[in-house]
């Protein structure tokens, strides 16, 4: 990977079927070497991904069915159940700037429910879909081959990141994002304008203003050009008390209300890309972010919409990918 001069960057570590990286608002762009080609036969027992529209229609992905069960509520059912409840990460897809919370609930080995609320606490009534990735924790690497030769460039202005893939995917890929910041100002990340050649990621603070912050980014899709690469993956589920409830190869502890320390059993060679999503039945509107990320682990922070540390039954899932 080579650093170049522009002021914003995507740092890619390219896995199985995906391009992943971190977008840092204070460093030069890091040009990705590759994105990955997904072959369902290679890893169907361990992970899947997809895009679901605001009407509940499956837009991309295989191995699951989706439907809208109520306003802002979507059910995803796996065609083949996992052995145990898997880890699930989700990102909203919308052009609306109304600020939406996305969370997972009712997760089992057979599927999960996604709930989308706006900032005022109402279930999402507008055009808000979502992308997701699921893994069962039994996967040490994504696909060991079939890495697409693809690059990505990022231009950012006032919290809006325009991401271009130099080699197009076969279709608009799934795009997942998590905010990486020490700030407790409460931020939202959403994706819009997806196409086979790029997308836009927008970060807003809780007042609705665009705000540049560091960003964890994963793009999952199919491409025609392949490399040979096998980055690693660690995933897990953690309870509100800091207990490990799913996944392997890491430890977790709650260090204070709403704050959790995740340590990997074996370090990555460099800081991985980390995605997180909250898993809760509560409709109190919680923000999730990571900070202090290194090759050895990261800190998870959960706040409610008023800015106070999370209290109550709010668990989370994470997926860390890298070399």
Are residues 219 and 293 located together in one domain of the fold?
A: no
Give the structural domain span for 134: 1-229
- How does pLDDT run across 160-199, given as a tens digit for each residue? 888 887 667 778 888 888 888 877 777 778 888 998 888 8
| pLDDT in the model for residue 56 | 93
Of the residues 229, 246, 280, the one at which a domain ends: 229
Of the residues 229, 248, 266, the one at which a domain ends: 229
Are residues 81 and 99 located together in one domain of the fold?
A: yes
- How does pLDDT run across 210-238, given as a tens digit for each residue? 766 777 888 877 765 544 455 688 999 99
Task: Give the chain's residues under pLDDT 70.
Answer: 1-45, 97, 121-122, 124-125, 138-157, 166-167, 211-212, 223-231, 307-312
User: In degrees rounded to 5, what are phi and psi of residue 53?
Assistant: -80, 175
Number of structural domains found in the chain? 2
pTM of the model: 0.80
| pLDDT in the model for residue 34 | 29
CB 181 within 8 A of CB 293: no
Cβ neighbours of residue 64 closer than 8 Å, sequence gap 6 or more: 48, 50, 58, 76, 77, 78, 79, 111
Ramachandran region of residue 43, left (φ > 0), alpha (ψ -120 to 50) or beta? Answer: alpha
Are residues 168 and 308 located together in one domain of the fold?
A: no
Are residues 200 and 280 located together in one domain of the fold?
A: no
DSSP-assigned states of every residue in 161-186:
EEEEESS--SSPPEEEEEEE-S--S-
State the CB neighbour count (10 A cutoff) for residue 141. 15
| pLDDT in the model for residue 273 | 86
């Amino acid at each position: 990977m080579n650093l170049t001069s522009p002021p914003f960057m995507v740092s890619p570590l390219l896995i199985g079927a995906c391009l992943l990286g971190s977008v840092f608002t204070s460093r030069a762009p890091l040009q990705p070497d590759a994105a990955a080609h997904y072959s369902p036969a290679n890893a169907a027992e361990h992970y899947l991904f997809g895009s679901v529209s605001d009407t509940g229609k499956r837009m991309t992905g295989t191995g699951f069915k989706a439907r809208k069960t109520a306003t802002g509520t979507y059910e995803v059912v796996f065609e083949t159940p996992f052995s145990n409840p898997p880890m699930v990460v989700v990102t909203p897809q919308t052009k609306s700037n109304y600020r939406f919370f996305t969370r997972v609930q009712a997760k089992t080995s057979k599927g999960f429910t996604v709930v989308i609320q706006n900032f005022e606490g109402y279930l999402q009534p507008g055009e808000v879909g979502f992308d997701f990735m699921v893994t069962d924790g039994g996967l040490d690497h994504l696909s060991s081959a079939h890495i697409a030769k693809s690059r990505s460039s990022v231009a950012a202005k006032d919290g809006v990141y325009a991401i271009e893939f130099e080699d197009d995917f076969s279709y608009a890929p799934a795009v997942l994002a998590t905010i990486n910041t020490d700030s407790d100002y409460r931020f939202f990340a959403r994706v819009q304008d997806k196409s086979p050649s790029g997308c836009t990621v927008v970060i807003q603070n809780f007042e609705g203003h665009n705000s540049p912050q560091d960003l964890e980014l994963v793009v999952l899709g199919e491409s025609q050009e392949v490399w040979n690469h096998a980055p690693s993956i660690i995933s897990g589920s953690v309870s509100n008390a800091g207990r490990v409830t799913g996944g392997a190869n890491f430890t977790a502890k709650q260090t204070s209300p709403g704050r959790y320390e995740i340590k990997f059993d074996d370090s990555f060679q460099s800081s991985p890309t980390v995605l997180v999503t909250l898993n809760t039945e509560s409709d109190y509107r919680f923000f999730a972010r990571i900070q202090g990320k290194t090759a050895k682990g990261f800190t998870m922070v959960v706040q409610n919409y008023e800015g106070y540390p999370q209290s109550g039954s709010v668990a989370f899932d994470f997926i860390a990918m890298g070399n």
